[in-house]
Amino acid sequence: MIELRDVCKTFGKKEARVEALRGISLSVEEGELVAIMGKSGSGKSTLLNILGGMMSVDSGEYLYDDKAVNFKSQRELTKFRRNEVGFVVQYFALADDLNIFQNVALPLKYQGYSGKKIKEMVMQALRELEIEDKAKAYPSELSGGQQQRAAIARAIVKQPRVILADEPTGALDEATGEAVQEIFRKLNEKGKTIIIVTHDAKVAEHCGRIIYVKDGMVMDDGRKKKGEGVMA
């Protein structure tokens, strides 16, 4: 479903030049739950932003459903972002002046849905995350875990096939983080393809596979090598 081939990405010029990605190749099958791990600055967020169509590549290819993502067309990129991916970040990024219903409804704006359809889709997402009773509350009135659940509801409200999460449990205490991880597991069971960047070994442990990134390259894609795991 997702394949990167030799992707490079550089920021800045001259002395400020940073090679964030130095030839990343990886693939993710539909229905996988994958963790991406690696030290701070190794290129994980850059990688996730590219997978989400939020950042272009300098060189290399991004194939989605075997079709090259066209980074040259803003229109195609916007369509890709809107239709295919839901994004979850560490600090939730909810709008403080909107209530939870309005926050979750945001991605549906400008898409031509009727008010009735929007209400249906938002309430469905809130139910799925078990926060339908918080629809009228404001983000500041929610706990961290509830805020992250609202952010996940916002990410899934359009029913994207892929969920990309950048340190989704990074701002949560251990128990709340585990609850959020459990939500990802359930969404994955229902068929979502999920890629989670995490520093938390416990979170990664619950993923089907761990991809290790180092200095902008894939050190280990977590796939079993030939012969590994096979009884002699």
Residues that bind Mg ion (CB under 5 A): 45
Contacts of 141 (CB under 8 A, 6+ apart): 134
Residue 12 or 220 with smaller CB distance to ligand ATP: 12
In the bound complex, what is the minimum distance in angstroms from residue 63's beta carbon to ligand ATP? 21
Site of tokens 């990688």 = 47
DSSP letters, 112-148, are T--HHHHHHHHHHHHHHTT-GGGTTS-GGGS-HHHHH
Is residue 45 at the binding interface for ligand ATP, with CB under 6 A as the rule? yes
* Residues facing 11 on adjacent strands: 18
Shortest distance (Å) from residue 63 CB to Mg ion: 24
User: Closer to Mg ion at the Cβ: 44 or 134?
Assistant: 44
3 state SS of 176: helix
Q: Which partner, ligand ATP, Mg ion, none, binds residue 20 by CB below 5 to 8 Å per kind?
A: ligand ATP
Q: 46 or 103, CB closer to ligand ATP?
A: 46
Residue 20 CB, nearest approach to ligand ATP (Å): 3
Count of CB atoms within 10 A of residue 61's CB? Answer: 14
Choose the binding region for ligand ATP from 34-42, 141-149, 156-164, 219-227 (rule: CB under 6 A): 34-42
- 119-154 in b/e form (b: 16+ CB < 10 A) is eebbbebbebbebbebbeebbeebebbbbbbbbbbb
Is 19 in a helix, a strand, or coil? strand
- Indicate the residue among 56 and 102 with the shorter CB distance to ligand ATP: 56
Answer for which of 2, 24, 26, 42 binds ligand ATP (CB under 6 A) is 42
CA-based radius of gyration for the chain? 18
Decide: residue 227, CB within 10 A, 0-12 exposed, 13-18 middle, 19+ buried: exposed
Q: Nearest approach, Cβ of 184 to ligand ATP (angstroms)?
A: 19
Span 72-91, contacts to ligand ATP by CB under 6 A: none
Total residues contacting ligand ATP by CB under 6 A comes to: 12
Q: How far is the CB of 69 from ligand ATP (least distance, A)?
A: 18
Options 24, 34, 44, 163; binder of ligand ATP; rule CB under 6 A = 44
Contacts of 200 (CB under 8 A, 6+ apart): 169, 170, 177
- For ligand ATP, the binding residue among 13, 14, 15, 40 (CB under 6 A) is 40
